[in-house]
Amino acid sequence: MDPLDAAMKTCGADAFVHYATGEDADMRYLTRFVMHDSFVFFKRRRQRGTIIVPQMEAERASRESTTAVMTRTQAGLPDILKKEKDPWKAIALMISGQAGKTVLVSPAFPAVLLRALEEHTQVIVDDGTMEKVRAKKSPAEIRLMQDVQRKTERAMALGISLIRHATVRKGVLYHDGTPLTSERVRIAMHKQLMDDGCRAVETIISCGEDTAYPHIIGSGPLKPHEPIVIDTFPRDETTGYYADMTRTVSKGEPDARITEMYEAVREAQQVGVARIRAGVSGADPYTAVVDYFKDRGYESDTRGFIHNLGHGVGLQVHELPTIGPSGVALGAGSVVTVEPGLYYPGIGGVRLEDIGVVRARQFVDFTRFEETLIV
């Protein structure tokens, strides 16, 4: 049975309703229609989904959406607005007119619209049916994500190549006569991704002490003998699917503690990968990595290994499943990252991140990119 139909049947709902922009992952999955303003998706039980859009989007929606398309006028909004001036109450009336007496809404359904809808309709909040559906990728989705990953690796190769071929002057990397900054590496990678039909934002190119903070994106001149963390998560401009990968490099030999951390992180990645398969709890590979780090003298607290081992990737860069303490059984077909890292303020950080698919018997890595610290 269609998972939304099953969820509706369980709670006795007549329809499922979502309200979001087309950038919302559930909305994109349900409609494949990208619109920058929020719009209504509804699906009555055993029927096809429908979106309600402004007149000016109707033609584009009928070309691009995988759903049926209705204009706001067809859904009665102009008549409703003659009597109901509050726009949220008007949208709620429009929804209840289409969706029936008992409605299942998405977890992210906005509170203001929920309250307005409750005036007319019994409203049940879904506990994440679509998020769970999205966690299992179809073969077609996996191909799309492998394709994004190939382009991501091309960008990573470019970024590392700029660092590798840089010259060193007064403790700073130079390229083409000017300092090689985080920003220059980031923009070069983003432009190549653009040529490849992908969009990347906020690629991390952090250097030195900044690498001890996993999400500082980095700025200014890059330096030799320091860890440089490159973490990029581009998405295909057309399909919206993400890839995600991280490498840590150093131009010339870094502090011995960084080299040791790098070796530990590289082995930890293999420890994690070896534990991933369908049916295993997402907590299991995480705990294995924590234990491995502990054996090597690295803690997993406010320093050391301070984040989850991995996360699902798809139409969101972070989605289900979780490979961390709160993880539940991994399902076959989930695309996940495996990204151990070690972070020590005052020393620096190291992270290595691959992406691949959870299969019945093993993790199949999509990533085909070397792990080499010194470049």
Interatomic CA distance for residues 145 and 136, integer angstroms:
13
Q: Select 206 or 250, whichever has its Cβ closest to a copy of itself.
A: 206
Residue where the block lists tokens 């490849």 = 196
Pattern 225-264, binding to a copy of itself, x per CB under 8 A?
------------x---------------------------
| Residue 316 Cβ vs a copy of itself, minimum distance, rounded to whole Å | 9
**Shorter beta-carbon distance to a copy of itself: residue 83 or 170:** 83
Structure tokens at 34: 């990208």
Among 57, 141, 226, 339, binds a copy of itself (CB under 8 A): 57
* Residues binding a copy of itself: number (CB under 8 A): 50
Using CB under 8 A as the criterion, what x/- string covers residues 291-310 for binding a copy of itself? Answer: -----------x---xx---
Asked if 178 interacts with a copy of itself (CB under 8 A), we say no
Per CB under 8 A, 220 contacts a copy of itself: no
Amino acid residing at 54? P
Shortest distance, position 108 Cβ to a copy of itself, whole Å: 5
Tell me the window of 123-131, 134-142, 165-173, 248-256 that interacts with a copy of itself (CB under 8 A): 123-131
What single-letter amino acid sits at 40? V
In sequence order, the 6+-apart residues with CB closer than 8 A to the CB of 303 are: 343, 344, 345
Closest by CA position to 309, among listed 332, 331, 333, 293 = 293
Q: Strand 172-175's sheet: what is its strand order?
A: 167-169, 172-175, 178-179
Would you state the torsion angle of the CA atoms of residues 48, 53, 59, 65, taken in this order, to the nearest 10 degrees?
-40
Instruction: Tell the smallest beta-carbon distance from residue 88 to a copy of itself (Å).
Output: 8
8 A C-beta contact, residue 53 and residue 71: yes
Distance from the Cα of residue 195 to its chain's centroid: 21
Distance, in Å, from the CA atom of 35 to the CA atom of 33, rounded to the nearest integer, reads 6
Binding mask 179-198 for a copy of itself (x = CB under 8 A): --------x--xx--xx---
Binding segment for a copy of itself (CB under 8 A), chosen from 104-112, 287-295, 352-360, 364-372, is 104-112
Long-range Cβ pairs for the range 201-210 (8 Å, 24+) = 203/159, 203/230, 203/231, 203/232, 203/233, 204/229, 204/230, 204/231, 204/232, 204/246, 205/159, 205/229, 205/230, 206/182, 206/349, 207/182, 208/348, 209/345, 209/346, 209/348
Exactly one of 5, 11, 54, 175 binds a copy of itself (CB under 8 A); which one? Answer: 54
Is residue 114 within the footprint of a copy of itself (CB under 8 A)? yes
Task: Check binding of 59 to a copy of itself (CB under 8 A).
Answer: yes
Q: Within 10 Å of residue 49's Cβ, how many Cβ atoms?
A: 19
- Kindly tell me which residue out of 2, 11, 60, 333 binds a copy of itself, with binding defined by CB under 8 A: 60
Any contact of residue 110 with a copy of itself (CB under 8 A)? Answer: yes
Considering the complex, state which of residue 55 and residue 169 has its C-beta at the smaller distance from a copy of itself: 55
Footprint of a copy of itself on this chain (CB under 8 A)?
34-37, 54-57, 59-60, 63, 81, 87-88, 105-112, 114-115, 123, 125-128, 187, 190-191, 194-195, 199, 201-202, 213-216, 237, 302, 306-307, 317-318, 326, 343, 345
